[in-house]
Amino acid sequence: MPDGTSLTERLMLPLTMISVCGMAMAALDAFAISGAGGSLGLWLVYLAAGLPTGLRALSALWRERVFDIDLLMIIAALAALAVGAPLEGAVLLTLFSISGTLEHRAMGRARRAIEALMALRPETALRLRGDGATEEVRVADLRPGDRLVLRPGARVPVDGLLLNGEGAVDEATITGESMPVSKAPGTKLFEATVNLNAVLIMEATATSATSTVARMIAMVTEAQAARAPSETFSAWFGQRYTIAVLAAALLAFLAQLLLGYPLSEALYRSAVLLVAASPCAVVISVPAAILSALAAAARGGVLFKGGAALEALADVKSFSFDKTGTLTTGTAEVTDIDATIGQDRMLSLLAGLEAQSEHPIAAAIRRRAAADGLTPAEVRGVVTHPSEGITGVDEDGAVWAGNQRMLERMGATATTPGALRLKNSAQTVTWIGRGNRLLGGVTVADRPRTGSAAGLSQLRAAGVHHLALMTGDRRAVALRIGRELGFSEAEIHSDLLPEDKVRLVGDLAEKGRTAFVGDGVNDAAALARADVGIAMGVAGSEVALQAADVALLAEDMTRLAAARKLAQRTKRIIRQNLIFALGMMALLVISALFFELPLPLAVIGHEGGTVLVVLNGLRLLADPIRSDHSLRKRPVLSSLFTRQSQEVGNV
């Protein structure tokens, strides 16, 4: 896959080195230290540094009708040459070239993030044929339903389910988990993770175009394309201000001629003004911070869909959380059963109804039926009713399963002692029945994730005073989980439909920026309604990931608090950069207008300020998101930014 860089960009470093050598030759000759060939050195500088700058300026002017910083620099350098100050023009071009190369090498790796993601994917896979033999095929040719063999040390080629075998899988490249994850039949396998110690048979559930890495590639692409408000402002300011500077320099040149200044002096002073007023530092100060923060976040297992989401997260005043699969593990277990038609018959029928559902409760029911050695009943015409349940038809007629809302909609009642026992428990109940006849029910219990309580506590400590738990579960279940996690009773909202979550998030949004964290299909509308939608886990619903602005690739809530802290630090650094850049520019302009600022000092002040704001922004690279669990391995996407942070350290 091409890296997307132009020939000019690839030649930046060697051309900069040539211009530095030429500058050294010219400087030695100018100070009579050596007869190194000053004229040759100046020619090298103007060709190696000036020619690419001029070509970029002409390209922007011709193709995009844009007056950019390159145009200012080349005009200033040519003006210095015209008035007999070629050394000053060479200094300007050399420092400008060095500055551009540092910026390019420090931040350019973000543009090759997609390449690094692609490198995580294996090119071939071992597919099982119908006769039991294996064949090596391209990953791009795999389709859902294909059975694949994973040997020890092999990468998982696409997302899928483990059919046979038990072993450990290293998921550090995807979720950032430091320890291998044990896998048993029925568990999910994610693309690009590594099978460590067993021969596994898996079934593909996605293609290479829809798998985990493909989704991550799409998010990285969106992040690179989306601009933060601060970036948009700096680009808007830079283009218009450049035109203003060119006009002001021309007017200053004409005014000096009218006042009787010699042509060479008027041209020299106008060149100084061009350099002093150039907005390089202003334009680069925001992208330097944004790209560094996006890289640091990705190293910590958090993907932002662009700088706008990063800036918005810094201002969030309230967070709302889905419960199941977000604050809890989503790995539920059947804890109690009540049946009026025989427990095995009821569990078989319930497992048949839930056979195609991806809901954690459905998975718990299927696991219990499998553990009891039961075959799911054949149910056809299955229809899902969001936040209520599921309906279908078996050999005896219509059958349904669901929560209390489904029970009431079907006109059934839970009045037997066993049904009342389930209903009064502080656990999630799934009822099953035919028409208004209740056949029984099961209770399912979930537990909070390890990092949920710590993450919520960190958000409160960071000044977030309004947290809310939103769930479609019964009040008793919501209270049990909510109290374990430190929510007050007023912060717990239960028995919610998807539209109820949207309404509550909208109410919070009227009081300030709000974020919603969820992982399911039912959460997509609330994720879209919030100022910042945050999808929990790379294995979350595809719909949820599409609707979200941020993805927590590891299911660790402490990283959300760390991501918000990083966003707030990024906002502070952007403010520092803009204040410094504007202040430096004002100082140089005043000095050029009233104190006859020499061109070399204008060049040093201009380029020095640009490099300083870039380095200030790049400090964010050294502040990657960490969880409280002290990951030993670099988290997700570390391969994308390891070399980048090393280079910044070298700078």
Residue 15 pLDDT greater than 70, yes or no: yes
Indicate whether 346 belongs to any domain. Answer: yes
Indicate which CATH number applies to the domain containing 385.
3.40.1110.10
Tell me what pLDDT residue 1 has: 37
Tell me, yes or no, whether 127 and 98 share the same domain.
Answer: no
Tell me, yes or no, whether 515 and 609 share the same domain.
Answer: no
Region for 386 from its dihedrals, namely left if φ exceeds 0, alpha if ψ lies in -120 to 50, beta otherwise: beta
Residue 575 pLDDT greater than 70, yes or no: yes
Indicate whether 301 belongs to any domain. Answer: no
Task: Quote the CA–CA distance of 69 and 8 in Å, as a whole number.
Answer: 16
Indicate whether 560 belongs to any domain. Answer: no
Tell me what pLDDT residue 639 has: 39
Q: Strand runs (DSSP E) across 386-446, as ranges?
A: 389-394, 397-402, 428-434, 437-445
162, 532, 538, 555 from 188: Cα distances, Å? 6, 28, 12, 15
Tell me, yes or no, whether 547 and 569 share the same domain.
Answer: no
162 near 189, Cβ under 8 Å?
yes
The proportion of the chain whose per-residue pLDDT surpasses 90, expressed as a percent, equals 21
Quickly state the pLDDT bin for 216 (edges 50, 70, 90): low
Q: Is 131 buried (19+), middle (13-18) or exposed (0-12) by CB count in 10 A?
A: exposed
User: Over the range 225-237, which residues count as b (16 or more CB within 10 Å of their CB) and which as e?
Assistant: ebbbebbeebeeb
Helix (H, G, I), strand (E, B) or coil at 381: strand
127 near 135, Cβ under 8 Å?
yes
Which residue from 284, 282, 277 is spatially nearest to 243, judged by alpha carbons? 277
For residue 226, what are the contacts with CB-CB under 8 A and spacing of at least 6?
305, 306, 307, 308, 309
Region for 79 from its dihedrals, namely left if φ exceeds 0, alpha if ψ lies in -120 to 50, beta otherwise: alpha
Higher pLDDT, 196 or 176: 196
Higher pLDDT, 288 or 173: 288
Residue 35 pLDDT greater than 50, yes or no: no
Quickly state the pLDDT bin for 640 (edges 50, 70, 90): very low
648 near 103, Cβ under 8 Å?
no
Q: What is the mean pLDDT of residues 460-474?
A: 87
Indicate whether 309 belongs to any domain. Answer: no
Largest distance between two CA atoms of the chain = 108
Tell me, yes or no, whether 436 and 339 share the same domain.
Answer: yes
Tell me what pLDDT residue 29 has: 65
* Lookup: tokens for 315: 């201002």
Question: Could you please report the per-residue DSSP string of 299-362?
Answer: HTTEEESSHHHHHHHHT--EEEEEIIIIIB----EEEEEEESS-HHHHHHHHHHHTTT--SHHH
Tell me, yes or no, whether 424 and 478 share the same domain.
Answer: no
Which residue from 184, 177, 144 is spatially nearest to 162, judged by alpha carbons? 184
Indicate whether 559 belongs to any domain. Answer: no
Tell me, yes or no, whether 146 and 241 share the same domain.
Answer: no
Tell me what pLDDT residue 203 has: 93
* Lookup: tokens for 117: 């993601």
Tell me, yes or no, whether 179 and 244 share the same domain.
Answer: no
Tell me what pLDDT residue 88 has: 73
Q: Is 41 buried (19+), middle (13-18) or exposed (0-12) by CB count in 10 A?
A: buried
* Lookup: tokens for 276: 């002093």
Tell me, yes or no, whether 229 and 108 share the same domain.
Answer: yes
Task: Say which residue the tokens 């609330």 belong to.
Answer: 526
Indicate whether 369 belongs to any domain. Answer: yes
**Range from 3-7, 208-212, 354-358, 485-489 carrying the lowest mean pLDDT:** 3-7
Tell me, yes or no, whether 486 and 546 share the same domain.
Answer: yes
C-alpha R_g of the chain: 31
Q: What is the mean pLDDT of residues 56-66?
A: 75
**Range from 98-107, 270-279, 522-531 carrying the lowest mean pLDDT:** 98-107
Tell me, yes or no, whether 107 and 11 share the same domain.
Answer: yes
* Lookup: tokens for 182: 């044990």
Higher pLDDT, 598 or 126: 126
492-493/514-518 β-pairing: unpaired
Tell me, yes or no, whether 199 and 131 share the same domain.
Answer: yes
Tell me what pLDDT residue 4 has: 44
Residue 439 pLDDT greater than 90, yes or no: yes
Catalytic residues: 322
Q: What is the mean pLDDT of residues 557-580?
A: 91
pLDDT tens profile 232-289: 565 666 567 777 888 888 888 898 888 888 888 888 888 888 778 877 777 777 877 8
Tell me what pLDDT residue 391 has: 92
For residue 375, what are the contacts with CB-CB under 8 A and spacing of at least 6?
348
Indicate whether 25 belongs to any domain. Answer: yes
Among the three residues 517, 552, 587, which one is the final residue of a domain in this structure? 552
Tell me, yes or no, whether 104 and 252 share the same domain.
Answer: yes
Among the three residues 552, 585, 610, which one is the final residue of a domain in this structure? 552
Centroid of chain to Cα 445: 32
Which residue from 532, 466, 461, 530 is spatially nearest to 493, judged by alpha carbons? 466
* Lookup: tokens for 196: 């460590």
Q: What is the mean pLDDT of residues 64-69?
A: 71
Task: Quote the CA–CA distance of 470 and 460 in Å, as a whole number.
Answer: 18
Count of positions (residues) in the chain: 651
Residue 621 pLDDT greater than 70, yes or no: yes
Indicate whether 46 belongs to any domain. Answer: yes
* Lookup: tokens for 151: 């040997």
Containing domain of residue 625, as a range?
7-112+220-296+565-650
Q: Is 153 buried (19+), middle (13-18) or exposed (0-12) by CB count in 10 A?
A: exposed
Q: What is the mean pLDDT of residues 600-604?
A: 80
How high does pLDDT run on average in the chain?
Answer: 79
Task: Quote the CA–CA distance of 616 and 573 in Å, as a whole number.
Answer: 7
Task: Give the count of beta carbons closer than 10 Å to the beta carbon of residue 535.
Answer: 31
Tell me what pLDDT residue 647 has: 33
Among the three residues 552, 587, 602, which one is the final residue of a domain in this structure? 552
C-alpha atoms less than 13 angstroms from C-alpha of 10 in its C-beta half-sphere = 6
Tell me what pLDDT residue 176 has: 47
Total number of domains in the chain:
4
Indicate which CATH number applies to the domain containing 532.
3.40.50.1000
pLDDT tens profile 138-167: 998 999 999 999 998 888 999 899 998 888
Tell me what pLDDT residue 644 has: 35
Check: pTM over 0.85? Answer yes or no. no
**Range from 68-72, 184-188, 566-570, 571-575 carrying the lowest mean pLDDT:** 68-72
For residue 34, what are the contacts with CB-CB under 8 A and spacing of at least 6?
28
Task: Quote the CA–CA distance of 635 and 644 in Å, as a whole number.
Answer: 15
Q: What is the mean pLDDT of residues 12-18?
A: 72
Tell me what pLDDT residue 116 has: 60
Helices (H), 389-541: 404-409, 417-423, 452-461, 475-484, 498-509, 524-529
